[in-house]
Amino acid sequence: MPPSPSSSLPSSSWEEEGRKSGKRGYWALPIVTRFNLINGIAPYNGAVAVSANSRAVTREEYERDPSYDLVARECEAVAGVLGTTAPIRVDVRRFRDGAGERFALFDVNMKPNMTGPGRPGREGEASLSLLGA
């Protein structure tokens, strides 16, 4: 059961399909899924770039598996309870393998890594939050 982080962003209004939604509140970026784990654990990002073993969950996957939307709402609720004013990352893992299985929230990262490409030798690197964006 690979871990899947979700980044939750501070309360704001946002646009949906180019129009102001009028909604306000905390909101989650798309869930990022991890793969190519070693004994169920993602390798240290200094050894394997996050972008080599992680990707954002697609819209089609969200539509087929309502547990993605449910855990995204739960991550938004975590941000609301904490009253965050900056992005956070919440790590989650399914209780059991398989689509449709619920997620457990197990780690709240108040200062998530925001590494991105731009320095020599880091062209292929990205943070989990960046992959969700």
pLDDT averages per 10-residue partition of the chain, 133 residues: 54 54 74 74 63 82 93 92 88 86 89 69 64 61
Q: What is the pLDDT of residue 97?
A: 83
Q: CA of 95: how far to CAs of 36, 78, 124, in Å?
A: 19, 19, 31
Q: What is the pLDDT of residue 96?
A: 87
Q: What is the pLDDT of residue 1?
A: 47
83: left (phi over 0), alpha (psi -120 to 50) or beta: left
Domain range for residue 102?
Answer: 4-132
Amino acid in position 103: F
CATH code of the domain covering residue 36: 3.30.470
Q: What is the pLDDT of residue 19?
A: 55
pTM: 0.74
Q: What is the pLDDT of residue 61?
A: 92
Q: How many helices (H) and strands (E) does the chain have?
A: 3, 6
CA atoms within 13 A on the CB side of 59: 0
Dihedral (Cα; 110, 50, 11, 59), 10-degree rounding: -150
Q: For the chain, how many structural domains are there in total?
A: 1
| Residue from 87, 97, 98, 99 nearest 128 by CA | 87
